[in-house]
Amino acid sequence: MKRTPKDLEGAHRKLSRRALLLGGLQLGFAGGLAARMRYLQVDQADQFRLLAEENRINIRLLAPARGEVFDRNGKTLAHNSPSYRIIIVPEDAGDVEAVIARLSKLIHLPAEDIERARTEMRRSPPFLPITLADQLTWEDISKVAVNAPALPGITPEVGLTRIYPQQSDFAHVVGYVGPVSDYDLSKLDSPDPVLRIPRFQIGKVGFEAKREDVLRGTAGAKRVEVNATGRVMRELDRKEGQAGADMQLAVDAGLQNYAQARLGAESAAVVVVDCDTGDLRAIASAPSFDPNLFVRGISVADYSLLTEDPYRPLANKTVQGTYPPGSTFKMVVSLAALEEGLIGPEDTVWCPGYLEVSGRRFHCWKRAGHGHVDLNTSLKQSCDVYYYDLAIKVGIDKISAMANRMGLGVRHDLPMSAVASGLAPDRDWKARVRGQDWLVGDTVNASIGQGFMLASPMQLAVMTARLATGRSVTPRLVKSIDGVEQPSGAGTSMGLNENNLRMIRRGMYSVSNDRRGTGYRSRIIAEGMRMGGKSGTSQVRNITAAERAAGVIRNKDLPWERRDHALYVCFAPFDKPKYAISVIVEHGGGGSTAAAPIARDVMLQALYDGTPPLSAYPKGDRSRIKAQQERLERERIKSDHPQDSDRA
Amino acid sequence: MSYLEYNAKATPSGFRKILYLNWPLTLLLASVAGVGFLMLYSVAGGSFSPWAEPQFKRFLLGMGVMLVVGMVPIWFWRNISVLAYLISVALLLAVEFFGTVGMGAQRWIDIGFMRLQPSELMKITSVMLLAAYYDWLPPERSSRPIWVLLPLLMILFPTLLVLRQPDLGTSILLMAAGGGVMFLAGVHWAYFAAVIGAAVGLVSAVFQSRGTDWQLLKDYQYRRIDTFLDPSQDPLGAGYHITQSKIALGSGGWSGRGYMQGTQSRLNFLPEKHTDFIFTTLAEEFGFIGGLTLLSLYMLIIVFCVATALAAKDRFSSLVSLGVAITFFLFFAVNMSMVMGLAPVVGVPLPLVSYGGSAMLVLLAAFGLVQSANVHRPR
């Protein structure tokens, strides 16, 4: 093919023209790139540099060590122990499922944990670490560490977890901690950033929850340089946090341990108040549970076992449970009458077995009647008619006021969950709450601690301490915070007539030490340790007309949940009161039979600060008591050797 | 113009040819590759392995290839253009059937001693074929529809094969480079206007078809487009590349953090930091000045290629030199636009700097063609 030079000349010129044009376009584009580069690198440099720093530097919070809790003698109730956990970074792991499968061949991974980890992984970006397994043993961690090459993205980590060495003994007092939940966060306006630390533990129940403020401490922080996967390359600086304050409780772990064991399988509670300081020496509620279960995350099966138990192991019956105080309230009524000067010790009331009040017949517990009854006899034999009569004379408002002075119907400020205030009703209360007028029948019911009257075992113990000392003893749970002694609960004189108090105490002495007293069978015979007490039996049902017609039904013929509550309050030594105790056995029957022996045993344990000599018990009881002591010694939780809390 | 028309006596011969190599171009290529070694050394955390050393060896091999190609008379290359093109297409088909899947795409073919990426080879052989075609075609026919259709098929057939791999970046490069050569060869404006119109139509079709049964791109390609348009909507997922790359680039400032001082690349925030995103490391460590220097080096390479083309006496030499220049330009322009957030992430390396064997060898061989055009120009 032959071409003319002219053609070629033209084509070449066109090519050169277009080449220059295209070259120009390219130059223009390069200029655009340079401008863009300038914009990013010069105009916006500061902003991007900041972003780069944010990329690179990560502030990691350092969880503070939670304050530890001790009993009054320095025995550990709650402490922190290293816990090993396994973290997975999904991005580093690659095939997450394969890695999990390999890991679960090495160590036991509960299906629940895996499922929870999967949910977390779906919600968070793939470079964030997620806890796969918690509370592992050192052996498990070693296995994982040895097999690290086969487990990409898996890192063992060490953290702190809460341990309750006393197990169920202090479940209701100290409570327990658990990982922060979304619900916890939603309740707070501006949550402490430390709560965002994965698996950070906060108090959920009891003392742990109530004194979260001092126990938690403040978070430290470290600035670390991280790479794109969030892996820490080096630490730039670190500011240690402030550990939480150590707390010493007024409770005596040994006594608490005994009390808890003595209550055994009953649905019951016992409170021991130190009359000198208001210290709660023991505050036991049975049945109990192991708080360590909750720290790990309790299984659904274990939890429903606890919630479905009719004996309500999760409820703290000492402060949260309120019961009609029954006859233990009679001291308050008599004291109100004495202070008003309405009765003297010699005044008597005729008890025919009932009292007719505005056309309705109120029975004494003793159908045959007590005959002529004076103050001392009324307490000793717990005559109801005497108090019906007395209460009508005194009037409910005075009784209610006296009850409040004794610490009933008022809330004692204790750092425990759901502290109940109980109820000491008066006219005003009924008008306000029920919108009804107070009836004289209400006063009659209140006089024997029934009707609207409600008190918690802790309140009854405080009442007993106040009767025993004449001072406004207030309960104290925390002995010291970080070594700083907390104010004593000894209280000051309540300004009551000492003679009146003495008469009441005399009556209580008779209850326990007079052959005809209701608490005589559970007396203490050691000299200098004798106690004053008062039994109570409170009805939990209304006696129907049909039942009344059929006569008294014996308690043990009733289903458990309709039986009477058994109560007993006492103080000792009589001459120089040291401890005041209240006991309630839910649906236990009579106070003198079900509650008084427990109160006496706990009292002796407290007085002797350990197992009492058999000589303190009445002669006839000693062999039975000895057997009981031996049995309890076996059953008591050996807190000196806490169970291995690792996952088996 | 056939080889008979060359005045063999007017072209250098023997070892004298070495004197007539385009030495400024050679030096520029070596300096750009030198920048590459520096950066690969840096992103490896101050180590020759695993990237800088193999890259250097490949560069030496590539320079050898370039010199050999440059010594061989340009008409030889013109005459084997058709054969080279056919071999490339055959290899592309081979990849289609026997290729190895790497990085989610079927791009490699294992030929024993190395893994070959035929799509890289295709970039240069298609330019050669087009240059040879227009060298053969009388200029006055170049705008006739039948003679336009033929080169169009030459471009589109390999493009579709590459797109099937799928490798969007290379297909765009193939089409753009082919179109560029056709434009230079004097094809009428109207065709280009029509193609651009059609492209706009295609783009809208691509978006319209999304989510329907006949959607034209893969889901990941749509996602890349989405995140290109708004990287902030998913800064830790698909938008991660773009966001992080802009952060690294922007934090460089005027003069950069200093060599080996880049934090973003060293801490692995930058993905593909040694391949497609290596420019961000350069920009972070050497700042605006460093980035502009590299851009200027690239543009100088273009300038020398264009100068060679304009000085050439035959159409093949001119067109092949310009075609190589366009291909080279497209490489770095698309790559830089991508890392600066001006274009979607399509997977085009930074020429001569990014770590990668096939691309470097093929590019240097292509510059060998430019050298050959320069050496064998009648003087």
Domain membership flag for residue B185: yes
Q: Residue A222: which pLDDT band, with cuts at 50, 70 and 90?
A: confident
Minimal C-alpha gap between B145 and chain A (Å): 18
Q: Do B247 and A52 touch (CB under 8 A)?
A: yes
Would residue B137 count as lying in a domain?
yes
Query: Which residues between 202 and 261 in chain A have a beta carbon less than 8 angstroms from any beta carbon of chain B?
Result: 225-229, 233
A15 interface with B at CB cutoff 8 Å: yes
Taking alpha carbons only, the member of A492, A606, A612, A622 closest to residue A257 is A606
- Candidates B4, B267, B324: best to mutate against A (most CBs of A within 10 A) is B267
Q: Is A592 a catalytic residue?
A: no
Q: Nearest CA to A332 among A100, A496, A552?
A: A496
Q: Test A56 with B264 for CB contact under 8 angstroms.
A: yes
Q: Does residue B63 have a pLDDT over 90?
A: yes
How many structural domains compose chain B?
1
CA distance A250 to chain B (A): 53
The active-site residue out of A327, A447, A535, A639 is A327
What Cα–Cα distance (Å) separates residue A337 from each residue in A371, A397, A402, A435, A555?
21, 12, 10, 28, 32
Q: What is the mean pLDDT of chain A?
A: 86
| B137/B135 Cα distance (integer angstroms) | 6
Smallest CA–CA distance from B336 into chain A, residue = A33
Contacts of A30 in chain B (CB under 8 A): 295, 298-299, 333
Closest to A33 (Cβ–Cβ): which among B186, B306, B336? B336
How many angstroms separate the CA atoms of B304 and A325, rounded?
Answer: 106
Compute the nearest-CA separation of B5 from chain A (Å): 11
CA–CA dist A174, A215 (Å, integer): 12
pLDDT value for B72: 92
CA distance B156 to chain A (A): 22
A253-635: CATH number: 3.40.710.10
Cβ(A623)–Cβ(A617) below 8 Å? no
Tell me which chain B residues have a C-beta less than 8 angstroms from the C-beta of A127.
Answer: 236
A19 and B180 within 8 Å at the Cβ level: the answer is: no
Asked if A34's CB is within 8 angstroms of B292's CB, the reply is yes
Residues A307-316: tens digit of each pLDDT: 999 999 999 9
CB contact under 8 Å between A33 and B340, yes or no, is yes
- According to the model, what pLDDT value does residue A641 have? 43
Nearest to A48 among B251, B270, B315 (CB): B251
Q: Does B213 touch chain A (CB under 8 A)?
A: no
pLDDT tier for residue A644 given thresholds of 50, 70 and 90: very low
Question: What is d(CA A170, CA A257) in angstroms, rounded to the nearest whole number?
Answer: 8
For B329, nearest residue in chain A (alpha carbons): A26
**Look-up: residue for tokens 């385009």?**
B22
- The pLDDT value given to residue A197: 72
CB A334 within 8 A of CB A373: no
Joined together, the tokens standing for residue B135 give 């060298």
CB A532 within 8 A of CB A571: yes
Coil, strand or helix: which one is A366? Answer: coil
CB contact under 8 A, B318 and A15: yes
Residues A153-189: b if buried by 16+ CB within 10 A, e if exposed:
bbbbeebebbbbbbbbbbbbbbbbbbbbeeeeeeeee
Which residues in B lie closer than 8 A to residue A227 (C-beta atoms)? Answer: 267-269
Give CA angle at B41 (B38, B290), nearest 5°.
35
Least confident of B42-46, B60-64, B229-233, B323-327: B229-233
Predicted confidence (pLDDT) at residue B120 exceeds the cutoff of 50: yes
Q: Is residue B5 part of a domain?
A: no
CB contact residues (below 8 A), chain B span 348-367, against chain A: none
Look at residue A227 in the predicted model and tell me its pLDDT.
64
* Residue B2, domain member (yes or no): no
Cβ(B186)–Cβ(A15) below 8 Å: yes
Query: Does B14 map to a domain?
Result: no
| Segment among A132-136, A346-350, A411-415, B293-297 with least mean pLDDT | A132-136
* pLDDT tens digits, A609-643: 999 999 999 998 899 999 999 998 888 766 444 44
Q: What is the domain range of residue B361?
A: 19-375
Q: Which amino acid is residue B262, in one-letter code?
A: G
- Name residues 41-70 of chain A within 8 A of B (Cβ): 41-42, 44-45, 47-49, 51-52, 55-56
Token duo for residue A389: 């009569």
Residue A86 has pLDDT above 90, yes or no: no
Residue B38 has pLDDT above 70, yes or no: yes
Contact between A243 and A76 (Cβ < 8 Å): no
Which of B244, B250, B325 lies nearest to residue A44, judging by beta carbons? Answer: B250
- Give the span between the Cα atoms of B337 and B341, in whole angstroms: 6
Residue B339 binned pLDDT confidence (cut-offs 50, 70, 90): confident
Do B288 and A1 lie within an 8 Å CB cutoff? no
Q: Could you tell me which residues are beta bridge partners of residue A79?
A: A163
Per-residue pLDDT, A637: 66
- CB contact (8 A) between residue B269 and residue A227: yes
How is chain A split into domains, by residue range?
60-249, 253-635
**Topology of domain A60-249, CATH:** Penicillin-binding protein 2a (Domain 2) (3.90.1310)
Contact B139 A226 (CB under 8 A): no
Mean pLDDT, chain B, rounded, equals 84
Nearest residue to A202 via CA among A190, A211, A212: A212
Chain B CA closest to residue A31: B295
Is B23 inside a domain boundary? Answer: yes
Instruction: Dig out the tokens for A447 from the structure.
Output: 């006089």
Task: For chains A and B, count residue pairs whose Cβ atoms are closer than 8 Å.
Answer: 142
ipTM: 0.88
